[in-house]
């Protein structure tokens, strides 16, 4: 039997089972837990309508200073959560009580760990989402600079993986970049949900104290308060699921980039060469330089989709109000974030070291790749589209039977240069990519600065 702050005695196995990975996972929440507590205590010290303040303004300042010291300890790796603390919340309360005595015992007045953990997770998520967005931008920027450098080097565009139409290396690279940048919209949706303050909902039903919830919303820099206390308690898990859905979808996009890179760097294609430092060898075949890192991007995509599914399964049919299984939503989104952020950083390195073999790219242009262009040239000379289509289709059938045709002489560079409308080979707007990336980075940076400023104001 063990003694904890909340339970006088608890079976040791039950404690281990219920605590789960919190003593490790919650370390990431230490700073945010202290920030939340600083805001709560500040609000308690300003609360109107009481005969006697629960804590005075001077006491609140004392608590904030002690919290700042805990954050410092956590940053130096000197903050530990014991199994009998159960989680970061009670570890912080234990330290405050050791240092401040009765004052430390007052900080949890009018609060539950239910709203406390919900606020910690939201602050942590806000910071993590913005950092992820910056890493998304960094990968997109690498793809753009790879594409801009390669410029109009012709690349066979494929549908069904079969040769289809003339394209360029730049269109391939910036096409992937654009898909990646567009994923920011899902992260912004997750951010908007995370940016709501549940603090003051307590266990999920409010408390008979005149809490000023708008005050902690302002102190913590949230966009607004989660108004209904019961609703606020049920929102736990929902923003985790929304973030996991953004992460899973982004990983799907990244796995497609990884797959193209695996294919195009195969000797049979030979369009790209992966940096040697990112390839792994074989224990038996001395010639091998394998794209393991890219295969693992596919594998990790499966994991993140799994965690997203686990989060939705956790929430489905869960009864209203707090339930302890919500604790696992924290594990799922933290794993999802870590895996996705590492993947973004690894892919940015791979793309930065990627080389193009322009000769292999040009040699891959079989006559069929020009078929549509040939038909369109006939249209320009007055043939109706469907007639032109059939003429070329017949001609190409002959070509595949080995009979040469004049179309075999078409030149990839010349055909690529004919494609100039918006978004095609020579119609790619470099400024558009650069503008979207720099605007997204600026927006993330200014919100990270605002969060940091709130944190510094509260913890000094």
Contact set with ligand ARG (CB under 6 A) = 22, 87, 113-114, 117, 322, 324, 326-327, 330
Q: Judged by CB, which is closer to ligand ARG: 17, or 380? A: 17
The CB-of-242 to ligand ARG minimum distance in angstroms stands at: 18
Q: In this structure, what token pair is assigned to residue 12?
A: 């040791």
To which H or E segment does residue 168 belong? strand 162-168
**Cβ atoms of residues 214 and 304 within 8 Å:** no
Residues annotated as part of the active site: 160, 282
Rg (CA), the chain: 29
Alpha carbons 238 and 441: distance in angstroms, whole number? 26
Q: Judged by CB, which is closer to ligand ARG: 312, or 432? A: 312
Q: Judged by CB, which is closer to ligand ARG: 333, or 370? A: 333
The CB-of-20 to ligand ARG minimum distance in angstroms stands at: 8
Alpha carbons 405 and 414: distance in angstroms, whole number? 18
Alpha carbons 405 and 392: distance in angstroms, whole number? 11
The CB-of-113 to ligand ARG minimum distance in angstroms stands at: 4
Give the bridge partners for 273, in sequence order. Answer: 355
Cα-based distances in Å from 129 to 194, 218, 377: 9, 20, 49
Q: Judged by CB, which is closer to ligand ARG: 210, or 231? A: 231
**Cβ atoms of residues 163 and 366 within 8 Å:** yes
The CB-of-28 to ligand ARG minimum distance in angstroms stands at: 12
Report DSSP state, residue 169: H
Q: Judged by CB, which is closer to ligand ARG: 4, or 424? A: 4
Q: Judged by CB, which is closer to ligand ARG: 117, or 181? A: 117
Q: How many CB atoms lie under 10 A from the CB of residue 303?
A: 16
The CB-of-96 to ligand ARG minimum distance in angstroms stands at: 17
Q: In this structure, what token pair is assigned to residue 119?
A: 């606020």
The CB-of-200 to ligand ARG minimum distance in angstroms stands at: 16
Among 371, 363, 379, smallest CA distance to 413 is for 363
Q: In this structure, what token pair is assigned to residue 132?
A: 């992820």
Give the bridge partners for 159, in sequence order. Answer: 162
Q: In this structure, what token pair is assigned to residue 133?
A: 């967005």
């Amino acid at each position: 039997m063990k003694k904890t702050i909340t339970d006088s005695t608890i079976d040791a196995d039950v404690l281990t089972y219920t605590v789960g990975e919190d003593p490790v996972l919650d370390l990431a929440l230490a700073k945010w837990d202290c920030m939340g507590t600083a805001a709560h205590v500040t609000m308690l010290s300003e609360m109107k309508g009481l005969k006697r303040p629960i804590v005075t303004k001077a006491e609140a300042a004392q608590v904030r200073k002690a919290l700042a010291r805990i954050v410092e300890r956590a940053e130096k790796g000197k903050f530990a959560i014991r199994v009998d603390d159960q989680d970061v919340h009670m570890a912080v309360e234990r330290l405050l009580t050791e240092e401040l005595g009765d004052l430390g015992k007052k900080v949890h007045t009018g609060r539950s760990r239910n709203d406390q953990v919900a606020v910690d997770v939201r602050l942590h998520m806000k910071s993590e989402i913005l950092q992820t967005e910056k890493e998304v931008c960094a990968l997109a920027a690498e793809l753009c600079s790879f594409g801009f450098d390669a410029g109009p080097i012709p690349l066979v565009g494929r549908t069904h993986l079969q040769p289809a139409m003339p394209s360029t290396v730049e269109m391939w690279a910036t096409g992937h970049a654009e898909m990646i940048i567009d994923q920011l919209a899902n992260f912004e949706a997750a951010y908007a949900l995370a940016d709501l303050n549940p603090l003051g909902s307590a266990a999920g039903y409010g408390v008979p104290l005149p809490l000023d919830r708008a005050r902690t919303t302002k102190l913590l820099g949230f966009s607004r308060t989660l108004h209904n206390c019961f609703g606020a308690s049920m929102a736990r898990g929902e923003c985790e699921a929304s973030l996991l859905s953004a992460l899973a979808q982004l990983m799907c996009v990244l796995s497609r980039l990884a797959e193209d890179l695996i294919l195009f760097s195969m000797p049979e294609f030979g369009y790209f060469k992966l940096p040697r430092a990112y390839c792994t060898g074989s224990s038996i075949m001395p010639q091998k330089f394998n794209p393991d890192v890219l295969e693992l991007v596919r594998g990790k995509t499966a994991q993140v989709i799994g965690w997203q599914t686990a989060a939705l399964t956790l929430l489905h049919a869960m009864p209203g109000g707090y339930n302890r299984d919500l604790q696992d939503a924290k594990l799922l989104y933290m794993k999802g974030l870590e895996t996705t952020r590492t993947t973004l950083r690894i892919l940015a390195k791979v793309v930065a070291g990627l080389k193009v073999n322009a000769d292999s790219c040009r040699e891959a242009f079989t006559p069929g790749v020009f078929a549509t262009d040939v038909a369109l040239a006939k249209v320009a000379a007055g043939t109706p589209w469907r007639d032109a289509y059939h003429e070329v289709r017949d001609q190409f059938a002959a070509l595949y039977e080995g009979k040469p045709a004049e179309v075999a002489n078409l030149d990839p560079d010349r055909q690529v240069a004919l494609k100039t409308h918006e978004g095609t080979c020579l119609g790619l707007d470099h400024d558009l990519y650069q503008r979207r990336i720099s605007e997204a980075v600026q927006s993330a940076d200014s919100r990270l600065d605002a969060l940091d400023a709130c944190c510094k104001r509260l913890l000094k």
